A = this chain, B = another copy of it.
Amino acid sequence: MPHPSDHDDPKPGDSYVQSFARGLAVLRSFGADAPAQTLTEVAASAELTRAGARRILLTLLHLGYVEMDGRLFRLTPKVLELGFAYLSSLPVWTQAQPVMEDLVQSLRQSCSAAVLDGDEIVYVLRVPAHKIMSINLGVGSRLPAYSTSLGRVLLAGLPDDIVQQRLVSASLPAHTPHTVTDPQRLYEIIRQVRIQGWCQVNEELEPGLVSMAAPVVDRNGRVVAAINISGQVNNPPPAQLLEHCLPMLLAAAAKINLLVRAQK
């Protein structure tokens, strides 16, 4: 990826960059733990002075991204448009859903799509097999790339030197006794995933959880996303997973690839 020249690149000290970053930090300071905040609370959680927080809150109020109720500020639904702009700009998001729905109906396994962001995967679409799905694994939630099938498929889409850099610099804790945490061993697994075109991960993230993933590739050969199926260990049994589920996962990924490439 080319970079703008040093001359043009805005610096962290640049006042415009700083004020924009502070505005977004104020938006992000709201959440499940802080749905409504006073000026003082916003200043504390976004690490701003009261005057700075006040200026940004009044700006957000003026632009319609926050509302004020007495001394309390809250986000408005307008904020959703920002996340929605990202999702609808993803080829996989607009094309993959019907294919993933079909796969879930055939296999009775949950199916998800994710993209890579640094050392993490970010879910962009989830089709649960069972109606009761943990809200914590909704769209926008993140998991470490190295210990998930989606993450290994996405890492396999990067050049070898970048993969090595990422594995050396990433924190690689063991989530279960099965988690592979040795960077060299992970590097070999990811190279193998690139050759075979899919990835299976058994209980490396959570005991009892198995998953298989395949890449979504755009017309330039770039891995833009990955889809997976996940379920409980031995349900279906390992042999059926490889003989029946894997071919259907690969067929679904191939179908999505065609749709993504057909997009203008």
Give residues in A with beta carbon < 8 Å to B.
1-4, 8-10, 12, 14, 16-17, 19-21, 23-24, 27-32, 34-36, 54-56, 58-63, 65, 67-70, 74-91, 93-94, 97-98, 101, 104-105, 115, 117, 122, 124, 127, 131-133, 135, 139-141
The answer to whether A122 touches B80 (Cβ under 8 A) is yes
In the bound complex, what is the Cα–Cα distance between A81 and B86 (angstroms)?
Answer: 10
What residues of chain B lie closer than 8 Å to A10, measured between beta carbons?
A: 55, 58-59, 62
What residues of chain B lie closer than 8 Å to A4, measured between beta carbons?
A: 58, 61, 68
> Given that A77-B117, A83-B84 are contacting pairs, would A68 and B8 also be in contact in the complex, using a CB cutoff of 8 Å?
no
The answer to whether B17 touches A20 (Cβ under 8 A) is no
In the bound complex, what is the Cα–Cα distance between A2 and B70 (angstroms)?
Answer: 6
Per assembly, the copies of the chain total: 2
What residues of chain B lie closer than 8 Å to A124, measured between beta carbons?
A: 77, 80
- A19 touches which one: B20, B81, B88 (CB < 8 A)? B20
In the bound complex, what is the Cα–Cα distance between A122 and B63 (angstroms)?
Answer: 18
The answer to whether B58 touches A132 (Cβ under 8 A) is no
Q: What are 14 A-B contacts with C-beta separation under 8 Å?
A: A1-B67, A3-B68, A24-B63, A24-B65, A28-B81, A28-B82, A30-B86, A31-B88, A76-B117, A77-B117, A79-B83, A83-B83, A101-B131, A127-B131
In the bound complex, what is the Cα–Cα distance between A166 and B94 (angstroms)?
Answer: 34
What residues of chain B lie closer than 8 Å to A12, measured between beta carbons?
A: 62
What residues of chain B lie closer than 8 Å to A24, measured between beta carbons?
A: 63, 65, 82
| 19 other A-B residue contacts (CB within 8 Å) besides A9-B62, A27-B82, A82-B82 | A1-B67, A10-B58, A16-B59, A17-B63, A23-B23, A27-B85, A30-B85, A31-B84, A75-B89, A76-B86, A76-B117, A79-B85, A79-B86, A80-B122, A80-B140, A84-B139, A84-B140, A93-B135, A105-B131
The residue on B at minimum CB distance from A75 is B86
What residues of chain B lie closer than 8 Å to A141, measured between beta carbons?
A: 84
What residues of chain B lie closer than 8 Å to A104, measured between beta carbons?
A: 131
The residue on B at minimum CB distance from A141 is B84
The residue on B at minimum CB distance from A36 is B89
> Given that A20-B19, A69-B1 are contacting pairs, would A77 and B81 also be in contact in the complex, using a CB cutoff of 8 Å?
no
* Closest Cβ–Cβ distance, residue A7 to chain B (whole Å): 11
In the bound complex, what is the Cα–Cα distance between A35 and B203 (angstroms)?
Answer: 35
What residues of chain B lie closer than 8 Å to A60, measured between beta carbons?
A: 20
In the bound complex, what is the Cα–Cα distance between A117 and B66 (angstroms)?
Answer: 12
